[in-house]
Amino acid sequence: MNVVQQPRTWWRLFIALIASVTVGTGGNDVAGLGQRLFSGQEQLSGRIYTHSVDMPSAAIRCSNCHAAGNGPAVPRSLAPRLNRTLLLDMRARRGGPASKYNRAAFCTVLRKGVDPVYIVIDVTMPRYKLTEDQCMALWAFLTGDTE
């Protein structure tokens, strides 16, 4: 009887392991994707606004210009450090009125280069071709908001 039950036990453990990996770990998995997109470990697609062709993924990764969280600043970059406070607190940006980001406004600035109060950001920031999942993952990584 033990001989028959042992393979079933291993089979059940194997199924449980596969299910836990494929179902994921919720918000941590999303933020992990965001971190990989930010650092360039996962490729992004996009172009500089004034260019007619997409840039190489290595040239447009976020971490080339932006620091995330409390990490070290990027040398010789004028791009802001991206963190929860910068994105979610009301503050004047680019000479416009005070505003704050939500996920939709964040995705708009990444895709179209227009901030929450409709001020166009610098043309040197790439306009990205992001899926909703990619944009949500970047937002989750930078703000901790997985909703």
Structural domains of the chain sorted by starting position, each given as residue range(s) with its CATH number in brackets = 30-143 (1.10.760)
State how far the Cα of 47 lies from the Cα of 9, in Å rounded to an integer: 52
* Alpha-helix runs per DSSP H in 24-102: 27-39, 84-88
pTM above 0.85, yes or no: no
| Cβ within 8 Å of residue 27, ≥6 positions away | 140, 146
Give the position of tokens 């939709």: 104
Task: With beta carbons less than 8 A apart as the criterion, state whether 42 and 57 touch.
Answer: no
pLDDT given for residue 2 in this prediction: 52
Tokens linked to 46:
């996009």
pLDDT in tens, the chain (147 residues): 555 555 555 444 443 333 333 333 444 699 999 999 999 999 999 999 899 999 999 999 999 999 988 777 888 888 899 999 999 999 988 788 999 999 999 999 999 999 999 999 999 999 999 999 999 999 999 999 877
pLDDT given for residue 17 in this prediction: 36
State how far the Cα of 44 lies from the Cα of 89, in Å rounded to an integer: 27
Closest CA to 83 of 74, 71, 75: 71
State how far the Cα of 42 lies from the Cα of 58, in Å rounded to an integer: 10
